[in-house]
Structure 1
Amino acid sequence: MTEILVLYYSRHGGTQKMARLLARGVESTGAIARLRTVPELAFVDEGCPHESVSTVKSDDPYVSLEDLKACHGLALGSPVRFGNMAAPLKHFIDSTSKAWLEGTLIGKPAMVFNSGSMLHGGQETTLQSMMLPLLHHGMVIVGLPHSESALHTTSGGGSPYGPSHVNVEGHRQPDNDEKNLAIAAGKRLADIATKLRH
């Protein structure tokens, strides 16, 4: 059976919500979604001490290199941090040299997703920058085609680069377009992974 690794880091819950929606799309195809996260990094920003610890409680296990070997596809999700992925997720990606040397991810499809706190806050550059290490791993990047009608109506997150959520005050939950795009992305990734397996 096709297994998709949905790997994410979430500080305030927006990216975790998107991960759950993507997993729903994966499972709608009959594939298995393996939700995994990464540990928090121990750092304190003296100017913003509340930012040193995640406010999200997750029942999802921490990812391992074995999860990378076992998966047939990968969805990678992060909050937007100055146009890049968050440091805890990048820290894990930086630890995957062994998987890179072994070619663990070569030929497997991958998709990226994120959540940010403001419109035009760097969602698209974050999605693009998250693709770079996946390309180094030899993965096949999967985006969202314009046949997804929600790409034409969204006033929040979502782009051809991947699903996203704009987590602004009053919109703590992904809106209908963001939900539909996340579910469609999970389905598309699982379908492509299944085709590539066969």
Structure 2
Amino acid sequence: MKSVLILYYSRQGNTAAMAHSIARGVESVAGCEAKLRTVPEVSTVCEAVEDTIPASGAPYVSLEDLKHCAALALGSPGRFGNMAAPLKYFWEQTSSLWLAGALIDKPAAVFTSTSSLHGGQESTLLSMMLPLLHHGMVILGLPYSNADLISTQSGGAPYGATHVSGGDSKRPLSDEEKRLCTALGKRLAIMATKL
């Protein structure tokens, strides 16, 4: 069974909803299973520590989760055109995997949610690709053979799946956004079986 790690950070629940749609796509491929993981908040108070298990949602990711996955989907809300600090902080702790070459040639994809269509979605996706490229991963996007990518009035980009959550962050995923997330998960799982 190929394990596809879906690693995300979500404050309002939108990126988590995308992760679940991506998981459906992963699990539509025979021999593949989705493994949902998240990261803890980053505290501005040095003495503060998070519980080792979150109160709800996906468990926290470990370096072992990354080391043993067959593929990775990485998701974050957009923060001024960049990935959220908790996710970036986690990647800054992965030097041991980089030194071992543990992620080389594994397929990876990215996804994001922002409040507006012009909220830095594509630059956020690109920011998440940078550590993956440094780790030697093979980056996958969404090809335009996905008809929703051309016709969507909400989220979606060739660089990865996106969602427009609205100014109050309460807009649910549109049907197009759900299908694009599912398509991204399916493509990632198929590539995991081929590489």
- TM-score by structure 2 length? 0.91
3-state SS in 2 of match to 1:68 = helix
In the TM superposition, what are the counterparts of 1:73-84 in structure 2 within 5 Å? 73-84=71-82
In structure 2, the residue matched to 1:98 is 96
In structure 1, the residue matched to 2:48 is none
Distance across 1 between alignment mates of 2:96 and 2:106: 17
In structure 2, the residue matched to 1:53 is none
In structure 1, the residue matched to 2:44 is 43
In structure 2, the residue matched to 1:140 is 138
In structure 2, the residue matched to 1:184 is 183
Given the superposition, is the C-alpha separation of residues 123 and 135 from structure 1 closer, same or farther in structure 2, using an over 3 Å criterion? Answer: same
Q: Aligned-pair distance for 1:57?
A: 6.3
Post-superposition, which runs of at least 4 consecutive aligned residues in structure 1 deviate over 6 A?
none
Q: Aligned-pair distance for 1:41?
A: 1.1
Unaligned runs of 5+ in 2: 46-53
Given the superposition, is the C-alpha separation of residues 150 and 102 from structure 1 closer, same or farther in structure 2, using an over 3 Å criterion? Answer: same
- TM-score by structure 1 length? 0.90
3-state SS in 2 of match to 1:77 = strand
3-state SS in 2 of match to 1:36 = strand
Given the superposition, is the C-alpha separation of residues 170 and 128 from structure 1 closer, same or farther in structure 2, using an over 3 Å criterion? Answer: closer
Distance across 2 between alignment mates of 1:151 and 1:28: 20
Q: Aligned-pair distance for 1:59?
A: 2.4
Q: Aligned-pair distance for 1:2?
A: 1.1
In structure 1, the residue matched to 2:23 is 23
In the TM superposition, what are the counterparts of 1:1-198 in structure 2 within 5 Å? 1-30=1-30, 31-43=32-44, 58-168=56-166, 169=168, 172-196=171-195
Unaligned runs of 5+ in 1: 45-55
Amino acid at match of 1:12: Q
RMSD, aligned CA: 1.5
Report Cα offsets for 1:4-39 as digits up to 9, x if no partner. 000000011110000010001000113110000000
Distance across 1 between alignment mates of 2:124 and 2:87: 12
Report Cα offsets for 1:106-129 as digits up to 9, x if no partner. 000000001011111100000011
Amino acid at match of 1:43: T
Amino acid at match of 1:95: Q
3-state SS in 2 of match to 1:106 = coil
3-state SS in 2 of match to 1:7 = strand
Identical columns (%): 62
Given the superposition, is the C-alpha separation of residues 58 and 155 from structure 1 closer, same or farther in structure 2, using an over 3 Å criterion? Answer: farther
Given the superposition, is the C-alpha separation of residues 114 and 58 from structure 1 closer, same or farther in structure 2, using an over 3 Å criterion? Answer: farther
